[in-house]
A and B are shown apart, each in its own frame.
Chain A
């Protein structure tokens, strides 16, 4: 069984500030972890993924995430927020039983000018 918890359904940052979106997972097998972004009225787009290679994963648009097994975490960061980063972000986990993804509840990121 797998589950994902995203702490904070809403996060607000100022433009240029650090973005930190938290994700903790539970998995009975070594997990594969993903971050997706959803812009209004759009589908989900992959930001980055962890597949048991490097623990620090770099994605698109300057985002990166670090897999910490001891903390069962996969937090998403970006050094400097841009207005265009305003969107909803989803953390997801899948195991070895196919590519079925279990999603967290999502975090809506707001960026203030």
Chain B
């Protein structure tokens, strides 16, 4: 498997524009996570899905952020409208909960810069 695939790797956008980040989890994994990494706040969990259903979105900063998982192989994180403080690296991760709790596998991340 190619691992968790995120696109784009880099995104530069102007304040007020809509941004969509994409993620393809590892095939067969039933959990998908979106994390945000900044210098100030470290790694924060934004939202996670189980079997395509959002389980906990308490980490989503505000209504400008939304996430969807229309099927087991695709998820999006959308920011509308974007603001400079949204600049960060966004990671998608997936895992499979078998008999033993397994680790999460991370994508390479999307570095978002809002100017």
Asked if A89 is at the interface (CB within 8 A of a chain B CB), the reply is no
B32 CB to nearest chain A CB (Å) = 10
Q: Please state if A99 and B106 are interface contacts (CB–CB under 8 Å).
A: no
Secondary structure dominating the interface of B:
strand
Asked if B56 is at the interface (CB within 8 A of a chain A CB), the reply is yes
Collect the chain B residues with CB atoms within 8 Å of residue A113's CB. Answer: none
We find that the number of chain A residues with CB closer than 8 angstroms to chain B is 23
Asked if B1 is at the interface (CB within 8 A of a chain A CB), the reply is no
CA distance A46 to B95 in the complex (A): 12
Q: Please state if A105 and B42 are interface contacts (CB–CB under 8 Å).
A: yes
Asked if B43 is at the interface (CB within 8 A of a chain A CB), the reply is yes
Query: Of B43, B50, B109, which one neighbours A106 at CB under 8 angstroms?
Result: B43
Q: Please state if B43 and A90 are interface contacts (CB–CB under 8 Å).
A: yes
Q: Which of these binds chain B: A18-26, A37-45, A64-72, A78-86?
A: A37-45
Chain A residues within 8 Å of B, Cβ to Cβ:
32, 34, 36, 41-46, 49, 51, 90, 94, 96, 98-106
Chain B residues within 8 Å of A, Cβ to Cβ:
4, 31, 33, 42-43, 45, 48, 50, 55-56, 91, 93, 95, 97, 100-109, 111
